[in-house]
Amino acid sequence: MSVYCGSHSSVPRGYLDLADAVGSGLAARGWSLVWGGSQVSMMGAVARAVRRGGSTTVGVIPRALVDLEKADPEADELVVVDTMRERKREMDERADAFLALPGGLGTCEELFEVWTSRYLGMHAKPVVLLDLDDHWEGMLTWVRELRARGFASQLALDALVVARTVDEALDACAA
């Protein structure tokens, strides 16, 4: 499955622990990880935990970000692509579910692409947001407001599963 999450070294420590817990949970279920291939911040934490748990990690990273985002030499497979669009396509094709953890603009960008393509019927893979501390509440409030104002359908909102615990999120990914 594919995990999107924060890549900044400045994210609070607790989020690294969360990424670690997600990676452990994923490995415990025998799932492999497809991620952005970085060894830093939450991205690195989730990948290390997956490998520690005995599962494999497939990183997909554009050539231009190999140094900037510190491509992970421990990845079982590191797919170096030419563009951001190729990165997203590779990740989408290799995953059977998408999980977003707390993150920033890049995480939003990736989440919105798989979410919108799900409600448009372009794929049927679970799209799950793990929000245990209201990190995403502002975004979710705004999207509900879009619905109330007629700019989004309930169907679109329902295409995203919002989970409150790691187990709940992983169960939703398996659904």
Ligand X SMILES: CC(C)=CCNc1ncnc2c1ncn2[C@@H]1O[C@H](COP(=O)(O)O)[C@@H](O)[C@H]1O
- The contact set with ligand X (CB under 6 A) reads 6-8, 36, 38, 65, 69, 84-85, 87-88, 103-107, 109-110
State in angstroms the smallest separation of the CB of 105 from ligand X: 4
Task: Give residue number: closest CB to ligand X.
Answer: 106
Residue number, 25 or 37, with CB nearest to ligand X: 37
State in angstroms the smallest separation of the CB of 120 from ligand X: 17
Residue number, 72 or 110, with CB nearest to ligand X: 110
CB neighbourhood size of 167 (10 A): 11
Please report which helix (H) or strand (E) contains residue 35, including its range.
Answer: strand 33-35
State in angstroms the smallest separation of the CB of 108 from ligand X: 7
Measured in degrees and rounded to the nearest 5, phi and psi for residue 113 equal -65, -45
Residue number, 86 or 171, with CB nearest to ligand X: 86
Bridge partners (DSSP) of residue 163 are: 130
Residue number, 8 or 52, with CB nearest to ligand X: 8
State in angstroms the smallest separation of the CB of 25 from ligand X: 20
Residue number, 53 or 106, with CB nearest to ligand X: 106
State in angstroms the smallest separation of the CB of 76 from ligand X: 18
Contact (Cβ atoms closer than 8 angstroms) between residue 21 and residue 166: yes
Q: Are strands 127-130 and 161-163 parallel, antiparallel or unpaired?
A: parallel
